[in-house]
Amino acid sequence: MNGLLVLDKPSDWTSHDVVGRVRRILGTRKVGHAGTLDPMATGVLVLGVGRATRLLGYISGADKTYTATIRLGQSTTTDDAQGELTGHASPEAMAEVQMSSVEEGMALLTGTIMQVPSSVSAIKVDGKRAYARVRSGEEVVLAPRKVDVTEFTLIDHQFDDLWLDLHVRVTCSSGTYIRALARDLGNELGLGGHLTALRRTRLGPWDEFEALPPEHLAAGSIPQESLLSMEAAVARIFPVWVVSESQAVMVRNGRRIDWTYAESADPVIAVCDNDGNFLALAEQHGPTAKYLAVFV
């Protein structure tokens, strides 16, 4: 059993919870996921089954799109609604908020930016997850990292005397924290801010409309046709190089072949035989193909 599952993760499930349930449903331990979603978040979670787990590192690095609700006027320990309230803006400050200033603040957080991840992220610090260190009472300050936010768009908003809720859409590179965007926007405006809702609507080529509904997880049933074959999966992610049968034999044995593929500038290419069988991931290494992974 090898392939990809695109699931719609339910709220209050960790990504690891989803992996565990799929392992039990499919009867295999070899299941992993690409791109962790927080328990509060819903939406597109891509899982690899069997040999397809080796593709997950390439998938998790793809860009992503989210819809989210940012609450301005309140800060929390975790930069989202699951943390404890640490501060709030005065009613007078909230009454003075102008939407033009909000959109200017969003524009400052669009493009290539340096972002400090939330201290309760899954980033490892000396081999231990940052959130685990925070829970054990340690103070964690993570280093800023460069991320790309290609879209930070206001969809709608609602005012309250004590806060302002922004409904936004964000398209960003891997490693971007939407919680951190909420925090930084609130800080930029002098109001504080945190995330109250998050949904991933797209990961790489897969969007929410092709994701398996979350009821299947609860019911313990995954339709066989939901498992995307290795061949169909790589065709969505990589350019495909169809090699001759003699070359395919060499690829299967891990022997390098001459690099004759010139149809794409993408660094990683999926190598398939004449029958469409996926053989390997390769990159150009001088005049030959270097295999990143052989799948047969």
Catalytic site includes residue 80 = no
Strand order across the 269-272 sheet: 240-242, 269-272, 278-285, 288-294
What torsion do the CA atoms of 292, 126, 200, 180 make, to the nearest 10 degrees?
-130
Do residues 3 and 199 lie in contact, with contact meaning Cβ atoms separated by under 8 Å? no
Residues whose CB falls within 8 Å of the CB of residue 63, separated by 6 or more in sequence, listed in order: 148, 150, 171, 172, 173, 174, 204
Query: Of 8, 12, 38, 161, which is the active-site residue?
Result: 38
Q: Is the dihedral of CA 82, 85, 87, 89 positive or negative?
A: positive
How far is the C-alpha of 213 from the C-alpha of 132, rounded, in Å?
31
Tokens representing 259?
Answer: 């690099």
Q: Given the DSSP bridges, would you call strands 269-272 and 278-285 parallel, antiparallel or unpaired?
A: antiparallel
> Cα(230)–Cα(20) distance, rounded to whole angstroms?
21
The structure tokens listed for 150 are 């290609």
Q: Among all residues, which ones are annotated catalytic?
A: 38
